[in-house]
C-alpha cells in the first residue's frame, strides 16, 4: 500500500473554496471574508488536506453555462482571495492553494501564505510560472485549450489522451524553463475543460498513462457537467450541479483506483470516505 498521511489515506482531498458570486456550482456561498473562512473551517473539519481558494470563476461558455464566467479585474480577484488566504495561513489552519491564471494574483497569494498555485491555463502566464518558482511553490498545470469552451478547434483532438499528454508535457517544459522544479509540478487532465463527456471519461480511464509522465496527478471531477451528459446519454434527465454527488463520487473512485495523488472536490466529507474505501480495495 502507498504511504498514507495522518488521515489514513495516500490520496489527498482538496476542498474547493470559491469566493465568487458566479462559480458554476457554489457561486455566492462564500463571498465575504467571514463566510469564506467559515466554509474553509468546515472543509477542514470534514477532512480536507488543502483549501483551494479561487476568486475568479473559470466556467467555460457553452450550452451548459451560457455565456460563461465574466471577466474579473486583478484588483477584484485580490480583494476576494487575500483575506481568507492570509487568515488561514496566519492561523496555520491549512495548506492553501490559489486557483488563478494571473501572475500578479499568484505572487500576492504566495506572499500571503499560499503554498500551491493551481493554474487552469496550463502555464500560459510567464509571470505566474516565475512567481511559483521564486516562492518554491507547488504548481498544478491543468490541461486546457483556449477559454475551455466546447467548440471549434478546442475539440479538435486526434487521440484525446495522447494529445492531452503531449500538451501537458509542453506545459511542464514551459514551467521548467522558468525555474519550477520538476518535483513541485502536478498535472491535471482538465476534466470538462475543452472536452466532451466522452473525452473526460476517456481521460479518467487513462490516468495510469498520465502518471507515466512522472508527476503527481490531481483530478477535479466534482459536480462537472460531464456527469449530466452521461445521464442524458442513458436517457435520464440531466442533473443540476448540486445533484451530482453520486457521479462525483464515482469519478473520484475511478481516479483513486487508477492512482490519482489528489482529488479536488466540493463535497469533502463524502469524498474522504470514498477515498478510504477505494484505497482499501486497491491495496
Q: Annotated active-site positions, please?
A: 224, 264
Residues whose CB is less than 8 angstroms from the CB of residue 42 and which lie 6 or more positions away in sequence, other chains included: none
CA-CA-CA-CA torsion sign (246, 252, 257, 258): positive
Question: Half-sphere exposure of 213 toward its Cβ, with a 13 Å CA cutoff?
Answer: 28
Residues whose CB is less than 8 angstroms from the CB of residue 99 and which lie 6 or more positions away in sequence, other chains included: 52, 53, 54, 55, 58, 118, 120
Evaluate whether 265 touches 252 at the Cβ level (below 8 Å). Answer: yes
CA-CA-CA-CA torsion sign (167, 48, 38, 138): negative
> C-alpha cell of 122?
496550463
Amino acid at each position: 500500500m502507498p504511504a498514507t498521511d495522518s488521515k489514513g489515506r495516500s490520496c489527498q482531498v482538496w476542498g474547493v473554496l470559491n469566493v465568487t458570486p458566479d462559480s458554476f456550482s457554489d457561486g455566492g456561498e462564500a463571498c465575504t471574508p467571514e463566510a469564506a473562512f467559515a466554509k474553509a473551517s468546515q472543509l477542514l473539519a470534514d477532512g480536507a488536506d488543502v483549501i483551494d481558494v479561487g476568486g475568479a470563476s473559470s466556467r467555460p461558455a457553452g450550452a451548459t453555462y451560457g455565456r460563461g464566467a465574466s471577466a474579473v479585474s486583478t484588483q477584484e480577484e485580490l480583494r476576494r482571495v487575500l483575506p481568507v488566504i492570509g487568515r488561514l495561513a496566519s492561523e496555520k489552519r491549512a495548506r492553501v492553494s490559489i486557483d488563478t491564471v494571473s501572475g500578479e494574483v499568484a505572487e500576492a497569494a504566495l506572499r500571503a501564505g499560499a503554498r500551491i498555485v493551481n493554474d487552469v491555463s496550463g502555464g500560459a502566464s510567464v509571470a505566474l510560472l516565475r512567481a511559483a518558482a521564486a516562492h518554491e511553490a507547488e504548481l498544478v498545470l491543468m490541461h486546457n485549450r483556449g477559454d475551455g469552451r466546447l467548440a471549434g478547434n478546442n475539440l479538435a483532438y486526434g487521440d484525446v489522451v495522447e494529445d492531452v499528454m503531449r500538451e501537458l508535457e509542453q506545459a511542464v517544459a514551459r514551467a521548467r524553463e522558468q525555474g519550477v522544479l520538476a518535483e513541485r509540478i502536478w498535472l491535471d487532465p482538465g476534466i470538462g475543460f475543452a472536452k466532451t463527456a466522452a473525452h473526460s471519461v476517456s481521460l479518467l480511464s487513462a490516468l495510469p498513462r498520465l502518471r507515466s509522465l512522472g508527476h503527481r496527478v490531481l483530478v477535479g471531477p466534482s459536480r462537472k457537467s460531464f456527469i449530466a451528459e452521461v445521464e442524458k446519454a442513458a436517457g435520464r434527465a440531466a442533473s443540476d450541479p448540486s445533484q451530482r454527488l453520486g457521479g462525483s463520487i464515482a469519478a473520484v473512485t475511478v481516479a483513486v483506483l487508477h492512482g490519482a495523488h489528489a482529488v479536488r472536490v466540493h463535497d469533502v466529507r463524502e469524498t474522504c470516505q470514498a477515498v478510504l474505501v477505494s484505497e482499501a480495495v486497491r491495496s
